[in-house]
């Protein structure tokens, strides 16, 4: 669950919103609508922690994580759909990339070995070995067929990307 508690955001003297109280609960899909400039993007930045509230706070159930897919239709073109979902867990994705780079080294040193074992431990703790199958279940749940999981984002048309 994500909740906003008495969230107020001011730009100068103008309040974009005041005392917002809302709970986003499991199993639902929410849409945020409003006129241009009403403050939708600002509210999402507050939910994701990119912006601080003027007053009030955001609560996320401990142990749960928020992933943000930015509204840029070309930003993720080079990634496969499955990678894109895994990237939602930023730390896990960093670990995967750092591990790959270390194992690809030709002059693998003792230090690399130590670093790799630290990364492996953190990876295992984060359920890293389940990441691909978890991402695949999430995608299947959204109606995205397994055959499409390894396709690059640039090979989708606009509707499919969304
Ligand atoms: N840092 C800032 N300084 C001044 N004004 C700002 C700042 N950030 C946002 N605003 C103003 O706050 C208002 C809300 O902006 P926001 O981008 O959240 O609206 P929006 O609902 O997402 O609009 P759109 O439908 O155009 O995407 C706008 O009037 C914008 O000009
Ligand atoms: Mg916006």
Residues 36 and 87 in one domain: no
Tokens 């809302």: give the residue: 22
Query: Which tokens is 143 given?
Result: 């109606």
Residues 85 and 156 in one domain: yes
Residue 12 domain-assigned (yes or no)? yes
**pLDDT at residue number 65:** 87
Residues 50 and 117 in one domain: no
Residues 47 and 94 in one domain: no
CA distance 135 to 87: 10
CA distance 84 to 76: 7
Q: Does the pLDDT of residue 70 top 90, yes or no? A: no
Band of residue 154 on the pLDDT scale cut at 50, 70, 90: very high
Residue 66 domain-assigned (yes or no)? no
Distance 32 CA to ligand 2 centre (A): 10
Among 42, 44, 46, 72, say which to mutate for ligand 1: greatest number of ligand atoms within 8 Å of CB.
Answer: 42
Q: If DSSP codes are grouped into helix, strand and coil, which group holds residue 28?
A: coil
Residues 95 and 50 in one domain: no
Nearest CA to ligand 1 atom 30: 37
Mean pLDDT of the chain: 93
Q: Is the separation of the CB atoms in 24 and 30 below 8 Å?
A: yes
Q: If DSSP codes are grouped into helix, strand and coil, which group holds residue 25?
A: coil
Residues 45 and 96 in one domain: no
Tell me how many domains the chain contains: 2
Q: Which residues form the pocket of ligand 1, taking CB atoms under 6 Å from any ligand atom? A: 11, 16, 34, 36-42
Residue 88 domain-assigned (yes or no)? yes
**pLDDT at residue number 125:** 95
pTM: 0.75
Residues 91 and 146 in one domain: yes
Residue 128 domain-assigned (yes or no)? yes
> For strand 14-24 and strand 55-60, is the pairing parallel, antiparallel, or unpaired?
unpaired
CA dist list (Å): 60 to 13, 66, 131, 142: 29, 8, 21, 23
Q: Does the pLDDT of residue 72 top 90, yes or no? A: no
Q: Does the pLDDT of residue 71 top 80, yes or no? A: no
Q: Is the separation of the CB atoms in 76 and 153 below 8 Å?
A: yes
Residue 68 domain-assigned (yes or no)? no
Band of residue 158 on the pLDDT scale cut at 50, 70, 90: confident
Residues 93 and 156 in one domain: yes
Distance 11 CA to ligand 1 centre (A): 9
Torsion angle of the four alpha carbons 146, 160, 32, 38, in this order, in degrees rounded to the nearest 10: 150
Distance 116 CA to ligand 1 centre (A): 44
Distance 85 CA to ligand 1 centre (A): 28
**pLDDT at residue number 43:** 95
Atom of ligand 1 nearest to the CA of 36: 25
Q: What is the pLDDT of residues 94-117, one digit of tens each?
A: 999 999 999 999 999 999 999 999
Domain interval for residue 150: 81-161
Q: What is the mean pLDDT of residues 5-16?
A: 94
Residues 51 and 104 in one domain: no
Residue 72 domain-assigned (yes or no)? no
**pLDDT at residue number 20:** 96
Residues 13 and 42 in one domain: yes
Residue 100 domain-assigned (yes or no)? yes
């Amino acid at each position: 669950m994500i909740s906003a508690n008495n969230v107020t955001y001011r730009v100068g003297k103008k309040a974009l919103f005041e005392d917002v109280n809302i709970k986003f609960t499991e199993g639902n899909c929410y849409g945020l609508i409003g006129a241009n400039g009403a403050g939708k993007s600002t509210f999402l930045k507050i939910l994701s922690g990119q912006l601080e509230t003027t007053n009030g706070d955001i609560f996320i159930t401990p142990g749960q994580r928020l992933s943000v897919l930015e509204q840029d239709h070309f930003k993720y073109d080079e990634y496969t759909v499955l990678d894109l979902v895994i990237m939602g867990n930023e730390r896990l994705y960093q670990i995967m990339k750092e591990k790959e780079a270390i194992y690809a080294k030709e002059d693998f040193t003792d230090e690399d070995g130590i670093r790799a074992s630290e990364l492996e431990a953190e990876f295992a703790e984060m359920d890293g070995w389940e990441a691909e199958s978890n991402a695949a279940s999430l995608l299947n749940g959204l109606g995205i067929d397994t055959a499409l999981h390894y396709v690059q984002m640039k090979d989708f048309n606009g509707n499919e990307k969304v």
